[in-house]
Amino acid sequence: MSAKGLEVIDHTVQTTHEWINELKERLDWVGHRDALHLLRVTLTGVRDHLSHEEAADFAAQLPMLIRGMFYEGWQPASTPFKDRSQQAFVKRIEEQIASGIDYRGVEDITTVFKLLNARISSGEVSDMRGGLPSGIRDLWPE
């Protein structure tokens, strides 16, 4: 039981740590902060290529804290992005990744997608992949 009686907060913190820890292990990175940052920029990159309805359906599957990061800074009037190429998607993520981490480009983005495959329902993964442009969808394994 939560010391403050806020079990929902305790649960989402725990679940978020589990996601970050799993991603860090999958990436074989040292830093939790770096893994969280990659998760965040990849999720917001995906968000900005989805319809508003698809983004909301996807966000409902995320832990509360990660859902907040997913929506942070979102400007619905500016999305989905007009340039929906794989190259633009990867470039946007790379522009937000610090140069000091062990980032391996597309390989690490795909690792984030593999985490999502393991953590959200297969039906939602299928819907998400279907809502993305083919170049970005190619980065997300079935």
Residue 132 has pLDDT above 70, yes or no: yes
What are 105-114's pLDDT values in tens digits? Answer: 999 999 999 9
Q: Which of 40, 48, 47 lies closest to 23, judged by CA?
A: 40
- How many other C-beta atoms are found inside a 10 Å radius of the C-beta of residue 52? 13
Interval 47-62 mean pLDDT: 94
Distance (Å, rounded) from C-alpha 81 to C-alpha 103? 24
Calculate what percentage of the chain has a pLDDT beyond 90.
Answer: 84
- Dihedrals φ, ψ of 68, to 5°? -60, -40
Q: pLDDT band at residue 135, thresholds of 50, 70 and 90?
A: very high
H/E stretch holding 94: helix 86-96
What's residue 6's pLDDT? 82
What's residue 1's pLDDT? 54
